[in-house]
Amino acid sequence: MSEARDWLTEGLPHIWLPYTQMATAATPLAVVASQGVRLRLADGRELIDGISSWWTACHGYSHPHIRAAVEQQLASLPHVMFAGLVHEPALRLAQRLAALLPGDLERVFFTESGSVAVEVALKMAIQYWRNKGQAGKQRIVHFRHAYHGDTFATMALCDPEEGMHALFAGTMPDQLMAELPGDETMRRAFDLLLETHAERLAAVIVEPLVQGAGGMKMHDAQTLAFIAEACARHKVLLIADEIMTGFGRTGRMFACDEAGVVPDIICLSKALTGGTLPLAATVARRHVFEGFLSDDPAAALMHGPTYMANALACAAANASLDLFEREPRLAQVTAIEAQLAAELAPCRELAGVVDVRVKGAIGAVELSGNIDLKQLRLRFAEFGVWVRPFGNVVYLMPPFIIAAAELATLTAAVSRVLTERADALKGMPAWTQY
């Protein structure tokens, strides 16, 4: 315990935490081990992880098959540059992803993070048209409530009203925001937008079925199919950002599968390695890749991260795909969906709750009013769960291996904490004012 206090107290003054106002930040919880769906803290407590470490740990923590694959790879080839050299884990993974993805999504460009995977997709889309002699097609359409990353190009594709990136307004590329075309009026407006700007549009980017960090907003397969059809009709590329939804989270291996959509480019990350190591992929259809084939060196895609296709990460990703083949992951997601729907439904009746939404292994409770996120997070930890609300949403995205009793502990904690908040909003005694 003294050693834990030493590294914590001595190290915290030198760390800058993400999405945190450091002047008023609560002391972060110190984690010393993880196993299955549980995090063990330095003070001896265990928390059930309700959000899979930002939606990555789909198989839970420390799965022996992934651990063994990484250990074996570490002993032979941890990393080698991916320029002029290749290695087996990356080529096997690329082949397997191409076989899993719909249609002819078959050319895989590896990076290390979701934001960079989206950046690469944008470069692909814009340069594709430039290589075809249509250099004017360089703007991107994105949707309200979208989130695609924190780099400058990806910030420009996020909802400007969400506030996360408002500080940088005026410094980012100017893109076009649309409403998700969920009804006939919005479909006509979206179609008119593409028709009006088609000559300067390179692509439309969408988070299929579920918009993640923008508020866990959900739309149906018909909406996604309409977006794909409109893009094809107006000769605009479609980029599917499946960084959050990919690898089973919505109930299909990829969210696009539910709508029968084959995007021109798809972005993958998060659960790609089962939450073990950083890895991302931008995968293009055959016609997009062929748009870069030329005798002109300037027509090549000029991008190459230092740790591109890291062998350890690729080994972990291959092991993760093994688990999707061997174990009933999608069936587990179906069971999680049913339990989330049943056990979160009573939250709809609470004061301060706007909506409850469930899709696959995603459950979201949208709140109204002033929300003290720091107090909510601390209260959840007191109930033995790790739940990290953001904005106005309390959400659960547990590992797929979670047992029904463990999931019930998570949903009960959400119900209890939000009931306390509802009582406080009504002026009744509560442990704190949220």
- Per the annotation, the verdict on 43 as an active-site residue is no
Do the domain assignments include residue 434? no
Query: pLDDT (tens digit, 9 = 90+) per residue, 123-158?
Result: 999 999 999 999 999 999 999 999 999 999 999 999
Task: Examine the pLDDT at 235 and tell me if it is beyond 90.
Answer: yes
> Is residue 430 in some structural domain?
no
Q: Is the dihedral of CA 180, 183, 187, 190 positive or negative?
A: negative
336 plus 198 within the same structural domain: no
**Domain count within the chain:** 2
Asked about 19 being catalytic, the answer comes back as yes
pLDDT in tens, 10-27: 999 999 999 999 999 989
Examine the domain organization and report whether 84 and 16 are in the same domain. no
**The pLDDT of residue 330 is above 80:** yes
Same domain, 92 and 207: yes
Asked whether residue 411 is domain-assigned, the answer is: yes
Query: Do 121 and 229 sit in the same domain of this protein?
Result: yes
User: Pick from 270, 294, 326: which residue ends a domain?
Assistant: 326
Give the mean pLDDT of 395-414: 98
- At residue 167, the pLDDT reads 82
pLDDT band for 79, please (50, 70, 90 cuts).
very high
Establish if 90 belongs to a structural domain: yes
What is the pLDDT confidence band of residue 8, given thresholds at 50, 70 and 90?
Answer: very high
Whether residues 154 and 83 fall in one domain: yes
- Side-chain-side CA neighbours of 196 within 13 Å: the count stands at 9
Same domain, 222 and 268: yes
Q: Is 147 a catalytic residue?
A: yes
Catalytic residue among 137, 217, 270, 359: 270
Task: Using the predicted structure, report yes or no on whether residue 254 has a pLDDT greater than 90.
Answer: yes
Average pLDDT of 45-50? 98
414-428 average pLDDT score: 92
What's the whole-number average pLDDT of the chain? 95
Q: Which CATH number covers residue 26?
A: 3.90.1150.10
Q: Are residues 300 and 392 in the same domain?
A: no
- Which of 137, 241, 359, 395 is catalytic? The answer is 241
Same-domain status, 199 and 333: no
Summarised one tens digit per residue, pLDDT across range 90-118 is: 999 999 999 999 999 999 999 999 999 99
Instruction: Please check the confidence at residue 341 and state whether its pLDDT lies above 80.
Output: yes
Do 28 and 118 lie in one domain? The reply is: no
Please report the pLDDT score of residue 168 as a whole number: 86
Give yes or no: 150 in active site: no
Based on the fold, state whether residues 146 and 234 are members of the same structural domain: yes
Mean pLDDT for the stretch of residues 172-192: 96
Q: What is the pLDDT of residues 360-379, one digit of tens each?
A: 999 999 999 999 999 999 99
**Are residues 54 and 83 located together in one domain of the fold?**
no
| Residue 155 belongs to a domain | yes
Q: Which domain holds residue 43?
A: 2-59+328-425
Residue 139 covered by a domain: yes
For the four alpha carbons of 378, 384, 386 and 390, in that order, the dihedral sign comes to negative
**Residues near 22 by beta carbon (within 8 Å), at least 6 away in sequence:** 16
pLDDT, residue 5, reads 66
The mean pLDDT of 397-405, rounded to a whole number, is 98
Average pLDDT over every residue of 38-53: 97
Residues 33 and 75 in one domain: no
- The secondary structure of residue 333, as a DSSP letter, is H
Q: Is position 379 within any domain?
A: yes
Selected catalytic residue, list 61, 128, 147, 395: 147
End-to-end CA distance of the chain: 32
Domain-ending residue, one of 278, 294, 326: 326
Q: In this model, does residue 4 exceed pLDDT 60?
A: no
Is 431 within the bounds of a domain? no
Please give the share of the chain, as a percent, with pLDDT higher than 70. 97
* Distance separating alpha carbons of residues 387 and 303, to the nearest angstrom: 37
DSSP string, 114-173: HHHHHHHHHHHHHHHHHHTT-TT--EEEEETT----SSHHHHTTS-GGGSTTGGGTTSS-
What is the rounded average pLDDT of the residues 203-231?
Answer: 97
Residue 429 has a pLDDT of 56
pLDDT tier for residue 173 given thresholds of 50, 70 and 90: confident
**Domain at 225, CATH number:** 3.40.640.10
Rounded Cα gap, residues 193 and 333, in angstroms: 36
Q: How confident is the model at residue 165 (pLDDT cuts 50, 70, 90)?
A: confident
Mark which of 267, 302, 326 sits at the end of a domain. Answer: 326
The confidence band for 3, taking pLDDT boundaries of 50, 70 and 90, is low
